[in-house]
Structure 1
Amino acid sequence: MSRLQNKAVIITGGAGGIGAGMAKAMVKEGANVLIVDVNEEAGAKVLAELREFSPKSEFLQFDLMKHDELHKIVDFAVEKFGRLDVLVNNAHVSRQIMFEETKQEHFDLSFGTGFYPTFYLMQAALPHLKETKGNIINFASGAGISGQKTQTAYAAAKEAIRGMTRVVANEVAQYGVTVNIISPMAMTEGVEKWKAAFPDMYEDTLSKVPLGRFGDPEQDIGRVAVFLASEDSKYMTGQTFMVDGGVNMRP
């Protein structure tokens, strides 16, 4: 039997990049996945791929900045699938800018699309996840862990997510719910554009990756997400998994 057979999964930012990679990896393991994204065209394209493996999978166009309506995502998933087993808070938008030029608006964007959706979706999902002894997968970044330049607002939001994740993991462990974090490095559409625009910077970054390459959204990041969504990871919670080719080695 597949590792995620009939599990119901929500993935935000699922219409491209790491989100789409995780969705593809999960449906191939038997999951029914709801991908949530603001990009309707990209979402429809990814959904067509998912349905080759999981005819019940769905796409929901949604603006995560509508914080008071985020519960509707969970309601939609439960209505379609009859249950909820896994919540993946992947979506996050931010701007690269030096600290001295950073303004309130940059924090509003980063926290508004990353931290607050993670907070509200976890709150909405937990009653259902308690019933299934499910899993939450949140996302961190090397930007916060290593203090990357130009990433003030993004790093702050990602580290806030890490702190909140540990608290939630501690509180909901009694219900059999696990809450973990992936900190990834992957070759996404955005990285491809960055590579074309700044080839020297790309090569410099690549030279610092011990494993010598950027990860694949499905085969590298997606497979770890499958593990964290499966029964194989049930004795692990509150942890940050560095899926970054060894860039940020931590004790």
Structure 2
Amino acid sequence: MPADPHLPRRGLLKGTTALVGGALLGPLAGPHAVASAQVMPRIYTRAEWEARPPKVPATVLDRAPDHIVVHHTASPNSTDYSLDHALALSRSIQDFHMDTNGWDDTGQQLTISRGGHLMEGRNRAIEVICAEKHVVGAHTLGENDHTIGIENEGTYMTAAPTGALWRRLVRTCAWLCDVYDLDPHTAIVGHRDYNSTACPGDVLYSLLPRLRDQAAYCLGERRATEASRPGPSGLPGPRFTFDHGPALGPGDPTR
């Protein structure tokens, strides 16, 4: 919780380094960098990655989501960290979701590449987040009406995310918690917390306590999660590219 309950949930993003599973994820910011958690991170828009028009416009609810769901894309752990690759990834995901799954548009609201580039996913996502409302996606079966999904490029069953992806994920979660006035320690969850899936991978899932702490630190909070290392899910990993588990069911309000 914030140090002073009368203060808004805001803070400063300060440099810190994460060492996870033997992989140095790197500082959250450069040695002299300071940024406000409430400032929207750079998001590459659908126009910038040349998205196709959705089959129908996204459903917008006049309320905020209450959880942020962390996913992995269940795609190769690419070593191409360029912006061009990131934008192409967004196009590939949209094609798969619309053409193979038969959905109206990209399922998730936001996507982060292994190079640390953050992209808008479902149509109207940026506009609606900034309005503190909820654009309904298709990423977590039965829970899409109250959750915002972040797809992280790669497969994290045995590998850790890149430092660039991790830093962007921390900042993005902090920004979303600031916009929606959420507590990172309760709001940030993994796909497997809702559905029977290994997503976001055993390694990335084990990092969620650290993600919550670092996002909270960005917001000026100092409460730390008790050290824990969640074990493997026991569930099989992705069967094919972009298979991260149950995302949409007959009771969900949108495709």
TM-score band, normalised by shorter chain: 0.3 to 0.5
TM-score by length of 1: 0.35
